Structure 1
Amino acid sequence: MIRRVVAEAVGTAFLLAIVVGSGIMGERLAGGNDAIALLGNTIATGAGLIVLIHIFGPVSGAHFNPAVTLAFVLKGQTDRQTAVAYTAAQLAGALLGVWTAHAMFAEPIVQLSSKLREGPPQGLAECIATFGLIGTIIGTQRSRPEFTPVAVGLYITAAYWFTASTSFANPAVTIARSLTDSFAGIAPASVPLFIAGQIAGAVAGVAFFTWLFREDCPQ
């Protein structure tokens, strides 16, 4: 259990360092072009996820995401004690990752984001993004488990661009990104809406894809 929890913490820390660090780098190099900055942020995040899931998956399952952990609890594949430990590790790792990214780019370590992401469309976008993420995991674990890391990375890469919220799809990521006033930031006031959408998307994703892939489901 200790190794599994540490794997979740370190993996989530690397994920946030990638998200925030590539956002800072992209913004600095893009010359004010947000599309180019987002593209750099997207590629780094998608590629990083593939590698991180391959590294840490054999140890902890590489959730890196309380919404994913919740999905595994709802499917009966993770017990509640493990879920609590994983979630705590993910939150701690996410904060460490943000602060590490700030340190690497000579930014103030402690920050609060001022980037508001408000309104029902943003919450809907997070619900859809998380729903699709859960579907990606459940679907590939059923048919091609070895492809899951690549599928997750590709899905998040796509979701950065087809969702209005740029697909956080992760409560730990959302909370941690409220603590960076950089390209990847989200204002603390916008966090509850995003997390509500993510939880709703995770629950809906488990319900729908479990039904869809039931062996005894009528054709």
Structure 2
Amino acid sequence: MSSSLGRRALAEAVGSAALVAVVVGSGIQATELSHDVGVQLLANSLATVFGLGVLIALLGPVSGAHFNPVVTLAAWFTGRRTPGGLTLRDVAAYVPAQTAGAIGGAVLADAMFAKPLVQWSTHDRSAVHLWLGELVATAGLVLLIFGLGRTARAHLAPVAVASYIGAAYWFTSSTSFANPAVTIGRAFTDTFAGIAPASVGPFIAAQIAGAALGLGLVAAVFAHPAPARTGTVPAQSEPELAAPSAS
């Protein structure tokens, strides 16, 4: 990849921070403007769709716009035997950057709305049906991202991934976090988009299981990667293709 690892890790941190700021900030704004939960979720999901699409288009040329540890791990796993694929060194830089950025984004959103900068969420999300929702959301996200790469349609990632996340807000019981870093970040804010710290571990476990299922579906549905170099941006090779996820 053309960018240095430090520059790519910084892009992942900035993108993750911006993504969580969009998710948390739009959630706060929605609850201040409306008391209707349906309207609140609609506003939150629309803001996330637009913000996510912009971030993928903007930062994809630098880092691949993962913003998501399970996407980074899936990209490493699928490309580990491919020249130019992500290395474990890349993963070791990306994942902490994504997590730190997500936490920073939640703190920033709280600051913009004059909320306590760090306040653990009291929004309990501990239920089997919510974990199932996370598994489904993450599996679908991984299938989409790597399916686009294998069919040489990676240029559609900004629109396709953002649209999928927007839909998953509504068709999954968990409202589709589908991202361990974002899940951790959202524990730091006691607002509409928050998640109680005790609920974080099971959510992440469901997301990891969903990523594994998604990779299995990619292997089953798509026989071989596209022969030409593809990716979210020209700097990426097919096994490195990835794009972000969160809600």
Same fold (TM over 0.5): yes
Paired letter, 1:196: A
Paired letter, 1:176: G
Partner residue in 2 for 1:180: 189
**How far apart are residue 215 of structure 1 and its match?**
3.5
**How far apart are residue 84 of structure 1 and its match?**
1.3
Quote the RMSD (CA, aligned, Å).
1.1
TM-score (norm 1): 0.96
Partner residue in 2 for 1:78: 86
Q: Is the Cα contact below 8 Å between 1:137 and 1:152 reproduced in 2?
A: yes
Q: How many residues align?
A: 215
- Paired residue secondary structure (1:117): coil
Partner residue in 2 for 1:195: 204
The separation in 1 between residues aligned to 2:224 and 2:69, in whole angstroms, is 28
Q: Is the Cα contact below 8 Å between 1:70 and 1:202 reproduced in 2?
A: no
The separation in 1 between residues aligned to 2:12 and 2:224, in whole angstroms, is 32
Identical pairs, percent: 53
Q: Any gaps of 5 or more consecutive residues in structure 1? A: none
The separation in 2 between residues aligned to 1:58 and 1:215, in whole angstroms, is 24
* 1:106-121 alignment, distance < 5 Å: 106-121=114-129
Paired letter, 1:146: H
Partner residue in 2 for 1:49: 52
Partner residue in 2 for 1:38: 41
**How far apart are residue 33 of structure 1 and its match?**
0.7
Q: Which runs of 4+ in 1 moved over 6 A?
A: none
Paired letter, 2:210: G
- Paired residue secondary structure (2:183): helix
**How far apart are residue 142 of structure 1 and its match?**
2.3
**How far apart are residue 56 of structure 1 and its match?**
0.4
**How far apart are residue 141 of structure 1 and its match?**
1.9
Partner residue in 2 for 1:131: 139
Provide, for residues 107-157 of structure 1, a one-character-per-residue CA deviation record: whole Å limited to 9, x for no partner.
110110000011111111100000000011011122211101110000000
Q: Is the Cα contact below 8 Å between 1:131 and 1:205 reproduced in 2?
A: yes
Q: Is the Cα contact below 8 Å between 1:74 and 1:206 reproduced in 2?
A: no
The separation in 2 between residues aligned to 1:119 and 1:165, in whole angstroms, is 9
The separation in 2 between residues aligned to 1:8 and 1:210, in whole angstroms, is 27
Higher relative contact order (CA 8 A, sep 6+): 2
Which residue among 16, 23, 29 is the counterpart of 1:19? 23
Q: Is the Cα contact below 8 Å between 2:102 and 2:185 reproduced in 1?
A: yes
The separation in 2 between residues aligned to 1:19 and 1:98, in whole angstroms, is 9
**How far apart are residue 211 of structure 1 and its match?**
2.7
From the superposition, tell whether residues 14 and 186 of structure 1 become closer, same or farther in structure 2 (CA, over 3 Å).
same
Partner residue in 2 for 1:67: 70
Provide, for residues 64-114 of structure 1, a one-character-per-residue CA deviation record: whole Å limited to 9, x for no partner.
000101111120232111011100000110011011101111111011000
Which residue among 208, 219, 225 is the counterpart of 1:210? 219
Paired letter, 1:74: F
TM-score (norm 2): 0.85
The separation in 2 between residues aligned to 1:174 and 1:80, in whole angstroms, is 23
Structure 2 residue 61 is the aligned partner of structure 1 residue 58:
yes
Q: Is the Cα contact below 8 Å between 2:150 and 2:224 reproduced in 1?
A: no
